[in-house]
Structure 1
Protein backbone atom coordinates (compact mmCIF):
# COMPACT_ATOMS: atom_id res chain seq x y z
CA UNK A 1 0.00 0.00 0.00
CA UNK A 2 1.28 3.51 -0.83
CA UNK A 3 2.27 5.97 1.87
CA UNK A 4 -0.66 7.56 3.67
CA UNK A 5 -0.99 10.62 5.89
CA UNK A 6 -3.31 10.18 8.87
CA UNK A 7 -4.36 12.60 11.63
CA UNK A 8 -5.45 11.44 15.07
CA UNK A 9 -7.57 14.08 16.80
CA UNK A 10 -8.15 13.11 20.42
CA UNK A 11 -7.40 14.85 23.71
CA UNK A 12 -6.30 11.64 25.47
CA UNK A 13 -2.59 10.91 24.80
CA UNK A 14 -2.90 7.24 25.77
CA UNK A 15 -5.67 6.62 23.27
CA UNK A 16 -3.76 8.49 20.55
CA UNK A 17 -0.86 6.10 21.21
CA UNK A 18 -3.15 3.06 20.88
CA UNK A 19 -4.60 4.39 17.63
CA UNK A 20 -1.11 5.02 16.26
CA UNK A 21 -0.20 1.38 16.89
CA UNK A 22 -3.36 0.21 15.09
CA UNK A 23 -2.72 2.49 12.10
CA UNK A 24 0.89 1.28 11.83
CA UNK A 25 -0.45 -2.30 11.77
CA UNK A 26 -2.83 -1.38 8.94
CA UNK A 27 -0.52 0.56 6.62
CA UNK A 28 2.91 -0.26 5.26
CA UNK A 29 4.18 3.31 5.36
CA UNK A 30 2.35 6.12 7.11
CA UNK A 31 2.85 9.63 8.45
CA UNK A 32 0.81 10.10 11.63
CA UNK A 33 -0.08 13.60 12.82
CA UNK A 34 -1.70 14.37 16.17
CA UNK A 35 -4.11 17.04 17.43
CA UNK A 36 -5.68 17.47 20.85
CA UNK A 37 -8.46 19.87 19.81
CA UNK A 38 -10.46 20.71 16.69
CA UNK A 39 -8.71 24.00 15.91
CA UNK A 40 -5.28 22.36 15.92
CA UNK A 41 -6.68 19.60 13.69
CA UNK A 42 -7.73 22.15 11.07
CA UNK A 43 -4.31 23.79 11.27
CA UNK A 44 -2.72 20.38 10.60
CA UNK A 45 -4.96 19.86 7.59
CA UNK A 46 -4.05 23.28 6.16
CA UNK A 47 -0.35 22.48 6.60
CA UNK A 48 -0.67 18.96 5.17
CA UNK A 49 -2.96 18.96 2.11
CA UNK A 50 -2.00 15.35 1.38
CA UNK A 51 -3.83 14.20 4.54
CA UNK A 52 -6.50 11.64 3.65
CA UNK A 53 -7.80 10.09 6.88
CA UNK A 54 -8.82 11.63 10.22
CA UNK A 55 -9.70 9.90 13.48
CA UNK A 56 -12.04 12.30 15.27
CA UNK A 57 -12.98 11.98 18.93
CA UNK A 58 -16.68 12.69 19.47
CA UNK A 59 -16.09 14.67 22.68
CA UNK A 60 -12.73 16.38 22.16
CA UNK A 61 -12.37 20.15 22.81
CA UNK A 62 -13.98 22.18 20.03
CA UNK A 63 -16.14 19.28 18.86
CA UNK A 64 -19.74 19.54 20.03
CA UNK A 65 -21.42 16.34 18.88
CA UNK A 66 -21.15 16.01 15.12
CA UNK A 67 -20.21 19.64 14.40
CA UNK A 68 -16.56 18.70 13.86
CA UNK A 69 -17.54 15.94 11.42
CA UNK A 70 -19.77 18.16 9.30
CA UNK A 71 -17.24 21.01 9.43
CA UNK A 72 -14.58 18.65 8.11
CA UNK A 73 -16.89 17.51 5.32
CA UNK A 74 -17.77 21.08 4.45
CA UNK A 75 -14.20 22.38 4.39
CA UNK A 76 -12.39 19.21 3.24
CA UNK A 77 -14.85 16.81 1.55
CA UNK A 78 -12.05 14.59 0.22
CA UNK A 79 -10.91 13.52 3.71
CA UNK A 80 -12.24 10.28 5.19
CA UNK A 81 -13.38 10.60 8.81
CA UNK A 82 -13.49 7.83 11.39
CA UNK A 83 -15.35 8.80 14.56
CA UNK A 84 -14.06 7.35 17.84
CA UNK A 85 -15.68 7.50 21.26
CA UNK A 86 -16.43 5.62 24.46
CA UNK A 87 -19.97 6.99 23.98
CA UNK A 88 -20.88 4.14 21.66
CA UNK A 89 -24.65 3.63 21.75
CA UNK A 90 -26.22 2.32 18.52
CA UNK A 91 -28.05 5.64 18.10
CA UNK A 92 -24.83 7.67 18.20
CA UNK A 93 -23.06 5.28 15.83
CA UNK A 94 -26.01 5.51 13.44
CA UNK A 95 -25.92 9.31 13.54
CA UNK A 96 -22.19 9.36 12.81
CA UNK A 97 -22.69 7.33 9.63
CA UNK A 98 -25.80 9.31 8.66
CA UNK A 99 -23.79 12.54 8.89
CA UNK A 100 -21.07 11.12 6.68
CA UNK A 101 -18.47 9.34 8.82
CA UNK A 102 -16.80 6.35 7.16
CA UNK A 103 -16.70 4.42 10.44
CA UNK A 104 -17.41 4.60 14.15
CA UNK A 105 -14.91 2.81 16.39
CA UNK A 106 -15.66 2.36 20.10
CA UNK A 107 -12.70 3.20 22.33
CA UNK A 108 -13.09 -0.26 23.86
CA UNK A 109 -12.10 -1.92 20.55
CA UNK A 110 -8.83 -3.81 20.52
CA UNK A 111 -5.98 -3.04 18.11
CA UNK A 112 -6.84 -5.78 15.62
CA UNK A 113 -10.42 -4.51 15.31
CA UNK A 114 -9.22 -0.94 14.78
CA UNK A 115 -6.74 -2.13 12.15
CA UNK A 116 -9.49 -4.03 10.34
CA UNK A 117 -11.75 -0.97 10.38
CA UNK A 118 -9.00 1.21 8.90
CA UNK A 119 -8.41 -1.28 6.09
CA UNK A 120 -12.11 -1.41 5.22
CA UNK A 121 -12.45 2.37 5.21
CA UNK A 122 -9.44 2.77 2.92
CA UNK A 123 -11.10 0.28 0.56
CA UNK A 124 -14.10 2.60 0.31
CA UNK A 125 -16.38 0.70 2.70
CA UNK A 126 -18.31 1.80 5.78
CA UNK A 127 -17.37 0.08 9.04
CA UNK A 128 -19.36 -0.36 12.23
CA UNK A 129 -19.05 -2.91 15.04
CA UNK A 130 -20.90 -6.19 14.47
CA UNK A 131 -24.59 -6.15 15.29
CA UNK A 132 -25.24 -2.49 14.46
CA UNK A 133 -28.14 -2.25 12.00
CA UNK A 134 -27.80 0.73 9.65
CA UNK A 135 -31.40 0.38 8.47
CA UNK A 136 -32.94 0.48 11.96
CA UNK A 137 -34.55 3.90 11.48
CA UNK A 138 -34.95 4.74 7.82
CA UNK A 139 -36.89 7.95 8.47
CA UNK A 140 -34.18 9.39 10.74
CA UNK A 141 -31.55 8.21 8.27
CA UNK A 142 -33.12 10.23 5.46
CA UNK A 143 -33.46 13.34 7.66
CA UNK A 144 -29.80 13.21 8.68
CA UNK A 145 -28.56 12.50 5.16
CA UNK A 146 -30.58 15.42 3.81
CA UNK A 147 -29.11 17.70 6.49
CA UNK A 148 -25.57 16.52 5.70
CA UNK A 149 -26.21 17.16 2.00
CA UNK A 150 -27.48 20.69 2.70
CA UNK A 151 -24.54 21.53 4.99
CA UNK A 152 -22.13 20.31 2.31
CA UNK A 153 -23.58 22.92 -0.08
CA UNK A 154 -22.53 25.80 2.19
CA UNK A 155 -19.25 27.56 1.53
CA UNK A 156 -16.75 27.27 4.41
CA UNK A 157 -17.53 30.84 5.50
CA UNK A 158 -21.28 30.21 5.32
CA UNK A 159 -20.77 27.15 7.53
CA UNK A 160 -18.96 29.29 10.12
CA UNK A 161 -21.70 31.94 9.96
CA UNK A 162 -24.33 29.23 10.53
CA UNK A 163 -22.47 27.90 13.58
CA UNK A 164 -22.37 31.42 15.01
CA UNK A 165 -26.08 31.93 14.31
CA UNK A 166 -26.71 28.71 16.26
CA UNK A 167 -24.69 30.19 19.14
CA UNK A 168 -27.04 33.16 19.19
CA UNK A 169 -24.69 35.75 17.69
CA UNK A 170 -26.12 38.74 15.84
CA UNK A 171 -24.94 39.87 12.40
CA UNK A 172 -22.86 42.68 13.89
CA UNK A 173 -21.01 40.26 16.19
CA UNK A 174 -20.42 37.79 13.36
CA UNK A 175 -19.09 40.56 11.10
CA UNK A 176 -16.66 41.63 13.83
CA UNK A 177 -15.48 38.07 14.52
CA UNK A 178 -14.90 37.25 10.85
CA UNK A 179 -13.59 40.73 9.96
CA UNK A 180 -16.15 41.19 7.17
CA UNK A 181 -18.89 43.75 6.49
CA UNK A 182 -22.31 43.33 8.06
CA UNK A 183 -23.84 43.44 4.56
CA UNK A 184 -21.66 40.44 3.67
CA UNK A 185 -22.97 38.57 6.70
CA UNK A 186 -26.54 39.32 5.59
CA UNK A 187 -25.78 37.88 2.14
CA UNK A 188 -24.35 34.77 3.78
CA UNK A 189 -27.45 34.42 5.96
CA UNK A 190 -29.74 34.71 2.91
CA UNK A 191 -27.73 32.03 1.10
CA UNK A 192 -27.80 29.78 4.19
CA UNK A 193 -31.59 30.03 4.51
CA UNK A 194 -31.97 29.15 0.84
CA UNK A 195 -29.65 26.14 0.99
CA UNK A 196 -31.15 24.81 4.25
CA UNK A 197 -34.68 25.44 2.93
CA UNK A 198 -35.76 27.40 6.01
CA UNK A 199 -37.39 30.83 6.32
CA UNK A 200 -35.51 32.53 9.16
CA UNK A 201 -32.26 32.48 11.14
CA UNK A 202 -33.90 30.92 14.21
CA UNK A 203 -34.88 27.88 12.15
CA UNK A 204 -31.38 27.77 10.63
CA UNK A 205 -29.90 27.73 14.13
CA UNK A 206 -32.22 24.88 15.12
CA UNK A 207 -31.09 22.89 12.09
CA UNK A 208 -27.46 23.22 13.21
CA UNK A 209 -28.39 22.24 16.78
CA UNK A 210 -29.41 18.81 15.45
CA UNK A 211 -25.69 18.05 15.11
CA UNK A 212 -25.11 18.43 18.83
CA UNK A 213 -25.64 15.75 21.44
CA UNK A 214 -28.34 16.57 23.93
Structure 2
Protein backbone atom coordinates (compact mmCIF):
# COMPACT_ATOMS: atom_id res chain seq x y z
CA UNK A 1 0.00 0.00 0.00
CA UNK A 2 1.49 3.40 -0.99
CA UNK A 3 2.40 5.77 1.82
CA UNK A 4 0.32 8.91 2.14
CA UNK A 5 1.96 11.91 0.48
CA UNK A 6 -0.99 14.30 0.64
CA UNK A 7 -3.48 15.37 3.29
CA UNK A 8 -6.58 17.50 2.74
CA UNK A 9 -7.51 19.55 5.80
CA UNK A 10 -10.98 20.92 5.15
CA UNK A 11 -14.30 20.62 6.98
CA UNK A 12 -16.40 20.29 3.80
CA UNK A 13 -16.64 16.63 2.66
CA UNK A 14 -17.82 17.59 -0.86
CA UNK A 15 -14.83 19.82 -1.49
CA UNK A 16 -12.47 17.18 -0.09
CA UNK A 17 -13.90 14.69 -2.61
CA UNK A 18 -13.37 17.11 -5.54
CA UNK A 19 -9.85 17.86 -4.41
CA UNK A 20 -9.07 14.17 -4.00
CA UNK A 21 -10.15 13.58 -7.60
CA UNK A 22 -7.80 16.32 -8.86
CA UNK A 23 -4.90 14.95 -6.77
CA UNK A 24 -5.39 11.47 -8.23
CA UNK A 25 -5.07 12.96 -11.73
CA UNK A 26 -1.82 14.77 -10.88
CA UNK A 27 0.08 12.55 -8.47
CA UNK A 28 0.78 8.88 -9.15
CA UNK A 29 0.08 6.51 -6.27
CA UNK A 30 -1.06 9.36 -4.08
CA UNK A 31 -2.57 7.86 -0.98
CA UNK A 32 -4.52 10.85 0.37
CA UNK A 33 -5.49 11.41 3.99
CA UNK A 34 -8.26 13.74 5.19
CA UNK A 35 -8.80 15.87 8.28
CA UNK A 36 -11.77 18.07 9.11
CA UNK A 37 -10.13 20.18 11.83
CA UNK A 38 -6.64 21.51 12.56
CA UNK A 39 -6.02 19.33 15.59
CA UNK A 40 -6.79 16.21 13.50
CA UNK A 41 -4.38 17.50 10.84
CA UNK A 42 -1.52 17.84 13.35
CA UNK A 43 -2.12 14.31 14.66
CA UNK A 44 -2.11 12.92 11.10
CA UNK A 45 1.17 14.72 10.28
CA UNK A 46 2.81 13.29 13.40
CA UNK A 47 1.64 9.79 12.54
CA UNK A 48 2.53 9.96 8.82
CA UNK A 49 6.10 11.17 8.24
CA UNK A 50 5.70 10.41 4.51
CA UNK A 51 3.35 13.41 4.05
CA UNK A 52 4.68 16.05 1.66
CA UNK A 53 1.73 18.27 0.73
CA UNK A 54 -1.03 19.79 2.88
CA UNK A 55 -4.17 21.38 1.44
CA UNK A 56 -5.26 23.72 4.21
CA UNK A 57 -8.64 25.43 4.47
CA UNK A 58 -8.33 29.05 5.58
CA UNK A 59 -11.31 28.88 7.95
CA UNK A 60 -11.48 25.29 9.18
CA UNK A 61 -12.05 24.62 12.92
CA UNK A 62 -8.82 25.26 14.85
CA UNK A 63 -7.30 27.43 12.13
CA UNK A 64 -7.75 31.19 12.22
CA UNK A 65 -6.54 32.75 8.99
CA UNK A 66 -2.81 32.17 8.50
CA UNK A 67 -2.06 30.94 12.04
CA UNK A 68 -2.24 27.32 10.83
CA UNK A 69 0.03 28.04 7.87
CA UNK A 70 2.75 29.60 10.03
CA UNK A 71 2.41 26.87 12.66
CA UNK A 72 2.96 24.19 10.01
CA UNK A 73 5.96 26.09 8.65
CA UNK A 74 7.33 26.43 12.15
CA UNK A 75 6.85 22.80 13.20
CA UNK A 76 7.21 21.06 9.81
CA UNK A 77 9.29 23.29 7.49
CA UNK A 78 9.57 20.61 4.77
CA UNK A 79 5.82 20.38 4.18
CA UNK A 80 4.39 22.16 1.15
CA UNK A 81 1.20 24.02 2.11
CA UNK A 82 -1.50 24.90 -0.42
CA UNK A 83 -4.24 27.17 0.94
CA UNK A 84 -7.84 26.66 -0.18
CA UNK A 85 -10.86 28.85 0.58
CA UNK A 86 -13.97 30.48 -0.79
CA UNK A 87 -12.62 33.66 0.84
CA UNK A 88 -10.73 34.37 -2.36
CA UNK A 89 -10.24 38.12 -2.57
CA UNK A 90 -6.94 39.21 -4.14
CA UNK A 91 -5.52 40.59 -0.90
CA UNK A 92 -6.11 37.36 1.05
CA UNK A 93 -4.64 35.21 -1.73
CA UNK A 94 -1.52 37.36 -2.02
CA UNK A 95 -1.14 37.39 1.76
CA UNK A 96 -1.15 33.57 1.78
CA UNK A 97 1.81 33.54 -0.61
CA UNK A 98 3.64 36.21 1.40
CA UNK A 99 3.22 34.08 4.51
CA UNK A 100 4.77 31.11 2.71
CA UNK A 101 1.99 29.10 1.03
CA UNK A 102 2.93 27.45 -2.28
CA UNK A 103 -0.47 28.23 -3.82
CA UNK A 104 -3.94 29.54 -3.11
CA UNK A 105 -6.78 27.67 -4.78
CA UNK A 106 -10.24 29.29 -4.63
CA UNK A 107 -13.01 26.80 -3.87
CA UNK A 108 -14.82 28.09 -6.94
CA UNK A 109 -12.02 26.72 -9.17
CA UNK A 110 -12.91 23.93 -11.60
CA UNK A 111 -11.05 20.61 -11.72
CA UNK A 112 -8.80 21.68 -14.60
CA UNK A 113 -7.69 24.77 -12.65
CA UNK A 114 -7.06 22.74 -9.50
CA UNK A 115 -4.99 20.24 -11.51
CA UNK A 116 -2.99 23.10 -13.06
CA UNK A 117 -2.31 24.53 -9.59
CA UNK A 118 -1.12 21.16 -8.27
CA UNK A 119 1.12 20.59 -11.32
CA UNK A 120 2.66 24.05 -10.87
CA UNK A 121 3.43 23.39 -7.19
CA UNK A 122 4.88 19.94 -7.99
CA UNK A 123 7.20 21.67 -10.47
CA UNK A 124 8.46 23.82 -7.60
CA UNK A 125 6.68 27.04 -8.53
CA UNK A 126 4.17 29.30 -6.78
CA UNK A 127 0.60 29.30 -8.13
CA UNK A 128 -2.11 31.94 -7.92
CA UNK A 129 -5.19 32.44 -10.13
CA UNK A 130 -4.21 34.35 -13.28
CA UNK A 131 -6.75 37.12 -12.81
CA UNK A 132 -5.39 38.25 -9.45
CA UNK A 133 -4.62 41.96 -9.29
CA UNK A 134 -0.97 42.56 -8.42
CA UNK A 135 -1.74 45.89 -6.84
CA UNK A 136 -0.79 45.16 -3.25
CA UNK A 137 1.36 47.52 -1.25
CA UNK A 138 4.98 46.36 -1.63
CA UNK A 139 5.86 47.50 1.90
CA UNK A 140 3.04 45.42 3.42
CA UNK A 141 4.06 42.42 1.30
CA UNK A 142 7.67 42.64 2.50
CA UNK A 143 6.53 43.09 6.12
CA UNK A 144 4.37 39.95 5.86
CA UNK A 145 7.23 37.95 4.32
CA UNK A 146 9.55 39.14 7.10
CA UNK A 147 7.01 38.20 9.78
CA UNK A 148 6.65 34.71 8.26
CA UNK A 149 10.44 34.24 8.35
CA UNK A 150 10.58 35.40 11.97
CA UNK A 151 7.78 33.01 12.95
CA UNK A 152 9.63 30.16 11.23
CA UNK A 153 12.73 30.91 13.37
CA UNK A 154 10.87 30.24 16.63
CA UNK A 155 11.26 26.78 18.13
CA UNK A 156 7.97 24.82 18.24
CA UNK A 157 7.83 25.42 22.02
CA UNK A 158 8.40 29.16 21.56
CA UNK A 159 5.65 29.23 18.93
CA UNK A 160 3.20 27.66 21.39
CA UNK A 161 4.23 30.18 24.08
CA UNK A 162 3.68 33.02 21.59
CA UNK A 163 0.12 31.84 20.84
CA UNK A 164 -0.61 31.99 24.58
CA UNK A 165 1.03 35.40 24.98
CA UNK A 166 -1.17 36.63 22.11
CA UNK A 167 -4.15 35.20 24.00
CA UNK A 168 -3.27 37.47 26.94
CA UNK A 169 -2.03 34.73 29.28
CA UNK A 170 0.51 35.52 32.01
CA UNK A 171 3.76 33.59 32.47
CA UNK A 172 2.35 31.72 35.47
CA UNK A 173 -0.68 30.50 33.46
CA UNK A 174 1.50 29.50 30.50
CA UNK A 175 3.87 27.58 32.79
CA UNK A 176 0.91 25.72 34.30
CA UNK A 177 -0.64 24.93 30.90
CA UNK A 178 2.59 23.65 29.37
CA UNK A 179 3.80 21.98 32.57
CA UNK A 180 7.11 23.86 32.53
CA UNK A 181 8.80 26.24 35.01
CA UNK A 182 7.93 29.92 35.01
CA UNK A 183 11.63 30.74 34.52
CA UNK A 184 11.54 28.62 31.33
CA UNK A 185 8.55 30.60 30.08
CA UNK A 186 10.45 33.85 30.76
CA UNK A 187 13.39 32.56 28.71
CA UNK A 188 11.04 31.61 25.88
CA UNK A 189 9.39 35.05 25.97
CA UNK A 190 12.81 36.78 25.85
CA UNK A 191 13.83 34.65 22.86
CA UNK A 192 10.49 35.38 21.13
CA UNK A 193 10.91 39.15 21.59
CA UNK A 194 14.44 38.95 20.19
CA UNK A 195 13.45 36.86 17.15
CA UNK A 196 10.38 38.99 16.36
CA UNK A 197 12.44 42.15 16.98
CA UNK A 198 9.91 43.69 19.36
CA UNK A 199 10.34 45.26 22.82
CA UNK A 200 7.48 43.76 24.81
CA UNK A 201 4.96 40.93 24.94
CA UNK A 202 2.08 43.15 23.81
CA UNK A 203 3.86 43.84 20.52
CA UNK A 204 4.70 40.12 20.20
CA UNK A 205 1.00 39.28 20.65
CA UNK A 206 0.04 41.89 18.04
CA UNK A 207 2.56 40.38 15.59
CA UNK A 208 0.88 36.98 15.98
CA UNK A 209 -2.58 38.52 15.56
CA UNK A 210 -1.52 39.87 12.14
CA UNK A 211 -1.79 36.26 10.95
CA UNK A 212 -5.51 36.20 11.72
CA UNK A 213 -8.30 37.35 9.46
CA UNK A 214 -11.16 39.51 10.59
CA UNK A 215 -14.32 37.40 10.97
CA UNK A 216 -16.44 37.29 7.84
CA UNK A 217 -19.78 38.82 8.78
CA UNK A 218 -23.05 37.16 7.82
CA UNK A 219 -21.27 34.37 6.02
CA UNK A 220 -21.65 30.65 6.52
CA UNK A 221 -19.09 29.83 3.84
CA UNK A 222 -15.59 28.67 4.56
Q: TM-score, normalised by structure 1?
A: 0.97
SS in 2 for 1:202: helix
Distance between the aligned counterparts of 1:138 and 1:183, measured in 2? Answer: 40
Q: Per-residue deviation at 1:97? A: 0.3
The size of the alignment, in residue pairs, is: 213
Alignment of 1:136-147 (within 5 A): 136-147=136-147
Aligned to 2:218: none
Unmatched 5+ stretches in structure 2: 215-222
Indicate yes or no: 2:166 matched with 1:166: yes
The 5 A counterparts of 1:79-158 are 79-134=79-134, 136-158=136-158
Aligned to 1:204: 204
Quote how far apart the aligned CAs of 1:191 are: 0.3
Question: 2:91·2:136 contact (CA, 8 Å) conserved in 1?
Answer: no
Could you tell me how far apart the structure 2 residues matched to 1:135 and 1:149 are? 23
Answer yes or no: is 1:54 the counterpart of 2:54. yes
Post-superposition shift, 1:137? 2.1
Partner of 1:14: 14
Matched, 1:176 2:176: yes
Give the CA deviation at 1:122.
1.0
Residue pair 2:4, 2:33 contacting (<8 A) in 1 also: no
Contact 1:175 1:181 (8 Å CA) reproduced: yes
| Alignment correspondent of 2:191 | 191
Give how far 1:3 is off: 7.4
Native 8 Å contact 1:3 1:28 kept in 2: no
The answer as to whether partners of 2:4 and 2:48 remain within 8 angstroms in 1 is no
Distance 1:96 1:25 in 2: 25
Q: CA deviation at 1:28?
A: 1.7
Question: What is the Cα deviation at residue 136 of structure 1?
Answer: 3.2
Following the alignment from structure 2 to structure 1, what is the Cα–Cα distance between the partners of residues 3 and 36? 24
User: CA offsets per residue over residues 35-77 of structure 1, 9 Å max, x none?
Assistant: 0111110111111111000000000000011000000000001
4+ residue runs over 3 A deviation:
133-136
Cα distance between partner residues in 2 of 1:135 and 1:27: 33
Question: Equivalents in 1 of 2:199, 2:28: separation in Å?
Answer: 51
The answer as to whether partners of 1:175 and 1:182 remain within 8 angstroms in 2 is: yes
Contact 1:10/1:35 (CA < 8 Å) preserved in 2?
yes
> After alignment, is 125-134 or 113-122 more displaced?
125-134
Q: CA deviation at 1:4?
A: 6.2
Per-residue displacement from partner, 1:142-177 (whole Å, max 9, x unpaired)?
000110010011000100100111011111111111
Could you say which residue in structure 2 is the equivalent of 1:63?
63
Aligned partners of 1:119 and 1:44: how far apart in 2? 24
